[in-house]
Structure 1
Amino acid sequence: MDYSLSILVAALALISLGLSRPARSVNAFFRGQSENAEPPGLLTLTFSQVTTWIFARSLMNAAILGFFYGIWGTLAYAAYYLSFWIGGRIIDKLRFEQGFDSVQAFLQNRFGNWGTRCYNLVIGIRLISEVFANLLVIGILFGTTGSNAYTLAIIAFSGITLAYSLLGGLHASLRTDLFQMMLFLLVLVVLVFVAFGAPDVNLDMLLFKPFELDQPGPILLLVALLQVWSYPMHDPVMMDRGFLADRETTRRSFFHAGWISIACITAFGSLGVLAGAQASAGEAMNTVLARILGEIPLLLFNAALVISAMSTLDSTLSSSAKLVALDMKAVPTTVQNGRLVMVVFMLLGLCCVFLGNKDLFSAVAVSGTASMYLAPVVLISLWGGRTDVPLWSYLASFVLAISGAVLYFTESSGYSALLGDVHKYTKLLWISATLLTSGLLLFWLGCLSAGTPKFKQAEQVG
């Protein structure tokens, strides 16, 4: 199996390298423009949105949550993909109505330098976690944690993806995303037909776990519905793709990316649900899937994870380069410096893999919890148009959200038990609800202290 998967990875790498074109300009490397300075079209932008958000980690999480908590666990994870529709509205308001060319420019306008510093810290952590989590999935596919096969797979895969990312930057990422997404859809359709066509499988198995509000699946669904208001703004890969094309193309790409992603995540996660319905006590998900699917379809299952990891990693590296060179202006905006930033972020991700926590969902939950300080920014400052929210409200919301993320990490990892002996997702729900309520309250109090309301008038742009 590993030998076949290795051949597949090598073939994907060669095709991706062949599709990549050397970026000769800053706009090609950082903004994804073609050699003729043309932005991406609707299909390319939509498929790039989808494949960069259907990470290997996401697919694995959706399947694992389905395996343990039934269809409700998978649907909870799929609910995070409502972020596309909220993110599309964020981009439309921020870019096309108010005329800002980046999220950082908006935050600088509203909250000054501290507005961008807090944001850049959160998304920097987000980008490193994406590198870490996708490399971790690759290692798990090839061997047990710490084994030679595990280590070699991670190092080889990181080198392959880094190579073509360095070559073409965001332009290369968009070109390879289109190919990788089409291949992923083909693999997913085959997997679903094979799984649901198996003799011992029926649709009733999807409901082997009943819907009970006090169970982890439904609780996690509530968490997603709380975090989804801020989640898209803290994801630089999604936000970056909102600044590439014209208004109509951008709107349609976010809309279509939303329903396609939800359908893909639900379909892939249902494979984990089927495995959970037929698992014996103590049996691992991969063991059950091998029994249900057979060797070749299981290879396709692993192939889907490899494809999604590759497509996410190149986009993450592109966004990392844009963050440091273009948005933060920490280094001169040159293609060479962009490539150096990519190398640094890949090395940081590798450090997290070999030295950090191995819980895949922790990266989602921690970054999603930290992002919740942006919920009042979206709801009050952006959509509400309030320009008079004081800096102290923003900073207090930020500190609370970071504290909440740290608290969840320590609680879920067993380092503390301040919230009692309940399931970690129940703790996450309590933390998320508290952060959302507290953030909105802080912004409301800040607006009250500011006196006469000040609103941003919409400016139709582009």
Structure 2
Amino acid sequence: MEITLIIAVATVAIFSVFISPKAKDSGAFFKGLSPEGKAPGLLLLTFSQVTTWIFARSLLNAAILGFYYGVWGTLAYAAYYLSFLTGAKIIDSVRFQHGFDSIQAFLIDRFGRWGTRCYNFVIGVRLVSEVFANILVIGILFGVAGGTAYTTAVALFAVVTLVYSMLGGLHASLRTDLFQMLLFLLLLGALTVLVLATGQLTSAAIMFKSFAINDPGPILILVALLQIWSYPMHDPVMMDRGFIADRETTRKSFYHAAWISFVCIMLFGSFGIIAGANAIDGEVMNATLMRILGETPMLLFNITLVISAMSTLDSTLSSASKLVAVDMRWIEPSVVNGRITMAVFVLLGLLLVFSGNQDLFSAVAVSGTASMYLAPVVFFSLWGRRTDIPLWSYLSCFFISLAGAALYFTESAGHTQFLGESHKYTKLLGISISVLLSGCLLFWVGMLSQKHQPALRETAI
């Protein structure tokens, strides 16, 4: 099966290189424009949104959460895809109500340079974590960490994806996203049919875990519903695709991406659920699936993960180059500099992969918690149209969110036990609620303090 998987990956990679047009200017490389200067249409933009958010880590997380926590675990992960709905509202407000051409432009208008410095730091960490996570999935599929197969697969996957990403930047990413999404849907459909044919995908298997509000699955659903208000704003891949087409196309692409992604995640997660329903004590998910489904469905399962990893990695690299060259202006926004930036991010991702960290969901939870400093920005400054929020409110929210993310990381890894012996997802819910409420309180207090300042000055005079 490993040889077949390698051949399938090589075929997809070669075809992706073949259909990647070489970018001749920064408009194609950083803005995704065609050689004629045209923005992508609805189908291309929708499929690009979906395939860049249904990445390999997402599919594997959805299946693993289903394996351990049943349908409630998979539903919790699928709930994060409601971010497309809140993301659509965020983009529409920034672009068409406030008139800004990027999230950074909006933040610098409201909070000055520190507004963008904090934001760029968070999304920079997010991009590096995405490179790491999608390369890591490939290693997990091909072998044990440190082994020859693991190292070779990781290195080749990273290099091949980097090559075709460097050719055309965002425009190449959009083109390959369409091809990879169509292939992904075909494979997912075939996999679903094969699983149904085995008779394992039954209502009894899907509901093998009953609902209990204090179980990890339902708790994660609550966490997702708290984090989706800020999660899309800190995802540069999603946000970048919100600024390249007209208003109607952009809005529809987000709405369609929401339901398509939700369905795909639930379908793929259901394979983990049936594995959980049939697992023997001590048996891991992949071993259970191989036992109950057989070799062919598992081959499709793994190929689907590889394609989703490839489609997400090229988009992540495109957003990374745009962040450094266009948004942060650290370097001249040229095609050459964009390619160099992509190579640097791949190297950073590889360093994390070989550092030994294997926890895929921790990256989601940590970045999602860190992003929650943006929730008050969305509620007060963006949708509430408040222009009187002081910088200290913004910075306080930022540092509280980072502290919350760091606390969850140390608690979930077992380095600390400040929050007691409760399950790590229960701790994550408590941290998320605390960060969200304290952030909104800080913005509200800051808004009130600004209202009273003129009166104080007049009294002094």
Q: 1:37-116, aligned counterparts within 5 Å? A: 37-116=37-116
- 1:201 & 1:43 partners in 2: Cα distance? 31
How many pairs align? Answer: 454
What is residue 332 of structure 2 aligned with on the other side?
332
* Aligned-pair CA distance for 1:224: 0.4
Secondary structure of 1:290 counterpart: helix
- When residues 406 and 290 of structure 1 are mapped into structure 2, their CA distance, relative to the original with a 3 A threshold, is same
Amino acid at match of 1:310: M
* Aligned-pair CA distance for 1:200: 4.6
TM-score, reference length from structure 2: 0.97
What is residue 184 of structure 2 aligned with on the other side?
184
Secondary structure of 2:420 counterpart: coil
* Aligned-pair CA distance for 1:170: 0.3
CA-to-aligned-CA distance 1:134-169 (integer Å, 9 cap, x gap): 000000000011111111100000000000000000
Asked whether 1:350 is paired with 2:345, we answer: no
Contact 2:55 2:312 in 1 (8 A): yes
CA-to-aligned-CA distance 1:240-277 (integer Å, 9 cap, x gap): 00001000000000000000000000110011001100
Contact 1:66 1:272 in 2 (8 A): yes
* Aligned-pair CA distance for 1:293: 2.0
What is residue 33 of structure 1 aligned with on the other side?
33
Percent identical across equivalent pairs?
65
Q: 1:364-379, aligned counterparts within 5 Å? A: 364-379=364-379
TM-score, reference length from structure 1: 0.97
Q: 1:21-420, aligned counterparts within 5 Å? A: 21-420=21-420
- When residues 201 and 264 of structure 1 are mapped into structure 2, their CA distance, relative to the original with a 3 A threshold, is closer
Secondary structure of 1:242 counterpart: coil
- 1:55 & 1:154 partners in 2: Cα distance? 16
- 1:114 & 1:216 partners in 2: Cα distance? 37
What is residue 459 of structure 2 aligned with on the other side?
none
- 1:56 & 1:364 partners in 2: Cα distance? 13
Secondary structure of 2:242 counterpart: helix
- 1:273 & 1:452 partners in 2: Cα distance? 56
CA RMSD after TM alignment: 1.1
Secondary structure of 1:30 counterpart: helix
Q: 1:441-452, aligned counterparts within 5 Å? A: 441-451=441-451
- 1:198 & 1:387 partners in 2: Cα distance? 59
Worse overlay, 396-405 or 356-365: 356-365
Worse overlay, 64-73 or 184-193: 184-193
Contact 1:94 1:106 in 2 (8 A): yes
- When residues 65 and 200 of structure 1 are mapped into structure 2, their CA distance, relative to the original with a 3 A threshold, is closer
* Aligned-pair CA distance for 1:195: 1.2
- 2:83 & 2:33 partners in 1: Cα distance? 25
- 1:24 & 1:212 partners in 2: Cα distance? 56
* Aligned-pair CA distance for 1:292: 2.4
CA-to-aligned-CA distance 1:318-361 (integer Å, 9 cap, x gap): 00000000000000110000001000001001111111521000
- 1:279 & 1:187 partners in 2: Cα distance? 25
* Aligned-pair CA distance for 1:372: 0.4
- 1:204 & 1:298 partners in 2: Cα distance? 22
Worse overlay, 118-127 or 350-359: 350-359
Contact 1:447 1:453 in 2 (8 A): no
- 2:295 & 2:150 partners in 1: Cα distance? 20
In structure 1, runs of 5+ residues without a counterpart are: 455-462
Worse overlay, 293-302 or 366-375: 293-302
- 2:453 & 2:335 partners in 1: Cα distance? 44
- 2:200 & 2:79 partners in 1: Cα distance? 29
In structure 2, runs of 5+ residues without a counterpart are: 455-461
Amino acid at match of 1:101: D
Secondary structure of 1:388 counterpart: coil
CA-to-aligned-CA distance 1:157-187 (integer Å, 9 cap, x gap): 0000000000000000000000000000011
Contact 2:200 2:274 in 1 (8 A): no
